Amino acid sequence: MYLVYSVDHFLLKKQVEKIVKKHTLESEVQVYSWIDDNLQRIYENVNTVGFFVQHKTIIINDCLFLTNQTLDEKKYPNKNQKELMLKILTSKNEQTTVIFSVETDRISTKTKIAQRFVNECQIIQVPLLDETHLQAYVNQRLETWKKKIAERDIKYFLTMIPNDLMAINHEIEKLLALQTSTIDQNVIDQNIGKYREVNIFNLAEAFINDQIKAFIVQLSDYFELNNDFMSLIYLLTSELVFTRDCFLLKQQKPPPQTIAALLNAHPYRIKMTFKKYKHLDIDSLNDKILVLYHLNSLLIQGSINPEIIAKLELIKVIEREN
């Protein structure tokens, strides 16, 4: 049994994939969500011996019951299925590996069920990459495809996009698709710089604050200059995660300078975040983050039309909060 957690969706996913590969190449992999799937069915699959494969790996994502987040029973009907989750935890099927994963910066220390999981699982926390490792990561990915980039241009590239590996990888893919073998500031501006032509912070602020009229206007401005819905999702998610992390750290009552250092942000941005969003709570921010990650998954799968359905979904998120 593994319990993997991280605040970065991309890093979390990669760590889970690493565990899957570690066990056996012939393993049957089944992926579930604690939020959406039937726990009884998951329990039965954990304890069922496969007929055609010797090993089975079951991944249960979105295990929010292990966090300090307050969960609304209407939104999360599996919240009360604690005994069933404990039965899954204590299952003794040697032919099955179970991986529990959750996007969070910490596992709850308040609930008995979270402590049981901590005691009985192999815990893997995946930390965020610091600035040095991010620069090395960008350089390595570009070098693999024979692209040359100077250190100063890597730093410039990283200032143009959110500190989120999903967003960073999305933008690297754009650079890899170019015919040029050298990536410099001019190339970055031509392919990444359009984000700066729209006030992304105002767009994100309207979304986070449920200001539907302002959001629709800002959204229209964005799409006049950018035909890239995926990038918008990453940008909104990054600002939401940053805001959520500010409030999480504030609960520990450190000085603002410490919060700024931990989040690698200017103290003024921390101050303005608390001022702009003082009426919000961590649960409402987490709800929006989950919606965006789900929307991102549907876009990657090609299950929805980004021009129509995805825009409507963003607006519906705000309408639900009002």
User: How would you write 108-132 as a 3-class SS string?
Assistant: CCCCHHHHHHHHHCEEEECCCCCHH
**pLDDT value at residue 147:** 94
**Helix, strand, coil fractions of the chain, as percent rounded to 5:** 60, 10, 30
Concatenating the DSSP letter of every residue in 254-270 gives --HHHHHHHTT--HHHH
Domain limits, CATH 1.20.272.10, in the chain: 131-321
Instruction: Report CA-CA distances (Å) from 271 to 211, 215, 235.
Output: 21, 23, 20
**pLDDT value at residue 1:** 92
**pLDDT value at residue 196:** 52
Q: How far apart are CA 113 and CA 121, in angstroms?
A: 12
**pLDDT value at residue 24:** 63
Q: Is 144 helix (H, G, I), strand (E, B) or coil?
A: helix
At the top level of CATH, the class of 131-321 is mainly alpha
Query: Mean pLDDT per segment of 10 residues, for the chain of length 322 residues?
Result: 88 90 76 91 86 81 89 82 94 89 88 94 90 91 94 88 76 90 91 61 84 84 72 82 88 84 78 85 85 77 65 72 60
**pLDDT value at residue 321:** 62
**pLDDT value at residue 219:** 82
Contact 67, 107 (CB under 8 A): yes
Tracing tokens 């800002």 back to the chain, one arrives at: 218
**pLDDT value at residue 4:** 97
Q: How far apart are CA 210 and CA 284, in angstroms?
A: 11
Q: What is the CATH number of domain 2-125?
A: 3.40.50.300
**pLDDT value at residue 308:** 66
Which pTM value belongs to this model?
0.65
Q: Which residues contact 282 (CB under 8 A, 6 or more apart)?
A: 69, 244, 247, 248
Would you state the structure tokens that stand for residue 92, as one six-digit string?
């003794």
**pLDDT value at residue 103:** 86
Q: Is 182 helix (H, G, I), strand (E, B) or coil?
A: strand
Q: How far apart are CA 155 and CA 132, in angstroms?
A: 10
**pLDDT value at residue 204:** 84
Domain limits, CATH 3.40.50.300, in the chain: 2-125
Would you state the structure tokens that stand for residue 26, as one six-digit string?
């012939």
Q: How far apart are CA 164 and CA 238, in angstroms?
A: 6
**pLDDT value at residue 216:** 85
